[in-house]
Amino acid sequence: MNRIFGSAAIGALVLAAACAATGSMTDDQEQGAAPEGAARMSFFVTSVSPGKGGDYGGLAGADAHCTQLAQAAGSPRSKTWRAYLSAAAMNGQPQVNARDRIGKGPWYNAKGVEIAANIDELHNPDNAKMAKETNLTEKGDVNPGRGDPVNIHDGVTGSDINGRLAPPEVAAGREGAPQLPMPPNMTCNNWTSSDPQLSTMVGHIDRQGFVPNAKSWTTAHPSRGCSQPGLVSTGGAGQFYCFATN
């Protein structure tokens, strides 16, 4: 009888220990082992946009979009994701520069390839590590650009070539299209507006094109409005860049 009771007690203790261990698992363990590329990934181009033009729900909404896409692709939950977006000084809030939101590097794409070792290399116009073949989505796909059946190579940044807030600028008018007014900022009112009369700065994800700054991934040209159709009309879909700070 004592032997049977002892065996049952031992079994109960083992079960309790197992339950305790399960309860203490980290979020990453609960998520399961991430694919090697996804585990190392700290940079990507969003495969999809929120679909509301430049209205991302503010910086917080854009960061949440980055996090959702990254985790869906297998990125560990322990990583902190930030959208590469600047914000203007508005409503009592100070100016925010995209370069100050994303950590210090290095950064790797979804295939585990380094795209920049640090902030300086990231913003170096001659950084050959950033190209159409390496500026991948969180799924590890090449984003469609020039030469593809569909060209959506604009990445929204609201930033200048150094990753700081871009000054107001107006996109050149197209045939039959009225000239847009000078916008108060280049951030779609800090990523809360899809107003077709506003504008934002976009870079070229594939670093290709015919405009003077075509090779800039941050600052190729202004958009024609902050509406979804406006972003599409200049060669984009409202996508942006995401970086992990850790």
pLDDT tens-digit readout, 75-87 = 999 999 999 999 9
Whether residue 74 lies inside any domain: the answer is yes
Residue 172 has pLDDT above 90, yes or no: no
Residue with tokens 């049977």: 4
Say what the pTM is: 0.85
pLDDT tens by residue, 20-53: 333 333 444 334 444 577 899 999 999 999 999 9
Whether residue 28 lies inside any domain: the answer is no
Q: Shortest CA distance to 177 belongs to which of 234, 239, 220, 228?
A: 234
Kindly state the average pLDDT of the residues 183-190.
97
The residues near 217 (Cβ < 8 Å, ≥ 6 apart) are 130, 135, 155, 203, 204, 205, 207, 241
Here the CATH number for the domain that contains residue 107 is: 3.10.100.10
Helix (H, G, I), strand (E, B) or coil at 232: helix
Residue 230 has pLDDT above 90, yes or no: yes
User: What does the pLDDT read at residue 177?
Assistant: 59
Helix (H, G, I), strand (E, B) or coil at 60: helix
Residue 107 has pLDDT above 50, yes or no: yes
The average confidence (pLDDT) of the chain is: 87
Look at the chain and report how many structural domains it folds into: 1
Whether residue 1 lies inside any domain: the answer is no
- Give CA–CA dist 19/133, Å, rounded: 46
Range of the domain at 49: 34-171+182-244
Whether residue 18 lies inside any domain: the answer is no
